[in-house]
């Protein structure tokens, strides 16, 4: 994956700008440094990282491409994507259910967990359904991740998937 210049980089965080992976809370008044780098991701990877808050991120220094993210020595939050809220999360789950009625989730504006879980389950379900029909699991899973990213990108107006 090569991140094209000019495309937004984003970061899902838990409430209060809390990063569950590093255990740190991001501030709004400066650059964050990380021993392993500061992680962000292009819109195409949004479904893999769903959490409570979505932020636009600016990275500084050489950008290293990873499987589902990018890292740099420093980064900072530049703006919260206000369009990502509990109602959007519930709509996202509804969109997954429209494609995969057997997921068994009930979308709710009261909880964030179904959006995170349903994204993963829907991608896995798409792969398993394809495999059962004699097609390639990985191709179907990738197509589902892409459909989810397209939905989020369109709904949240966060720029081109890429």
93 and 151 together in one domain: yes
Would you say residue 57 lies in a domain?
yes
Cβ neighbours around 124 below 10 Å, total: 15
Task: Please tell me the distance from the alpha carbon of residue 30 to that of residue 90, in angstroms, as a whole number.
Answer: 32
pLDDT for 161 equals: 45
Q: What are phi and psi of 127, to 5 degrees?
A: -65, -45
pLDDT for 118 equals: 85
Long-range contacts, 143-149 (Cβ 8 Å, 24+)? 144/99, 145/44, 145/47, 145/48, 146/44, 147/99, 148/46, 148/47, 148/92, 148/95, 148/96, 148/119, 148/122, 148/123, 149/43, 149/44, 149/45, 149/46, 149/47
> At which of 80, 102, 118 does a domain end?
80
Task: Please tell me the distance from the alpha carbon of residue 77 to that of residue 10, in angstroms, as a whole number.
Answer: 9
Structural domain of residue 149, as residue ranges? 86-156
User: How many domains is the chain built from?
Assistant: 2
pLDDT for 81 equals: 96
103 and 73 together in one domain: no
Q: Where are the alpha helices (DSSP H) in the chain?
A: 86-99, 113-132, 137-156
Considering only CA atoms, which of 158, 160, 161, 154 is closest in space to residue 56? 158
Say if pTM beats, i.e. exceeds, 0.95.
no
pLDDT for 29 equals: 84
pLDDT for 20 equals: 79
pLDDT for 32 equals: 83
* Residues in a beta bridge with 39: 71
pLDDT for 4 equals: 47
pLDDT for 155 equals: 94
Would you say residue 4 lies in a domain?
no
pLDDT for 56 equals: 95
Ordered per-residue pLDDT tens for the chain, 162 residues: 344 456 789 999 998 998 877 778 888 888 887 777 888 999 989 999 898 999 999 999 999 888 888 989 989 999 999 999 988 998 998 899 898 888 777 666 666 677 888 888 889 989 998 999 999 999 999 999 999 999 999 999 987 544
> At which of 49, 80, 111 does a domain end?
80
Would you say residue 132 lies in a domain?
yes
**Residue 102 in contact with residue 96, Cβ under 8 Å?**
no
42 and 94 together in one domain: no
* Residues in a beta bridge with 42: 9
């Amino acid at each position: 994956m090569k991140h094209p210049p000019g495309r937004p980089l984003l970061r899902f965080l838990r409430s209060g700008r809390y990063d569950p992976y590093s255990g740190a809370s991001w501030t709004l008044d400066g650059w964050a440094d990380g021993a392993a780098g500061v992680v962000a991701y292009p819109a195409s990877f949004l479904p893999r990282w769903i959490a409570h808050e979505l932020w636009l991120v600016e990275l500084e220094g050489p950008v290293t491409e990873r499987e589902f993210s990018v890292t740099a020595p420093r980064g900072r939050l530049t703006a919260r994507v206000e369009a990502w809220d509990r109602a959007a999360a519930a709509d996202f789950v509804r969109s997954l259910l429209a494609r995969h009625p057997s997921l068994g989730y009930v979308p709710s504006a009261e909880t964030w967990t179904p959006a995170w879980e349903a994204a993963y389950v829907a991608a896995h379900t798409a792969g398993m359904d394809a495999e059962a029909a004699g097609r390639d699991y990985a191709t179907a899973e990738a197509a589902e991740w892409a459909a989810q990213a397209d939905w989020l990108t369109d709904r949240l107006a966060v720029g081109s998937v890429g």
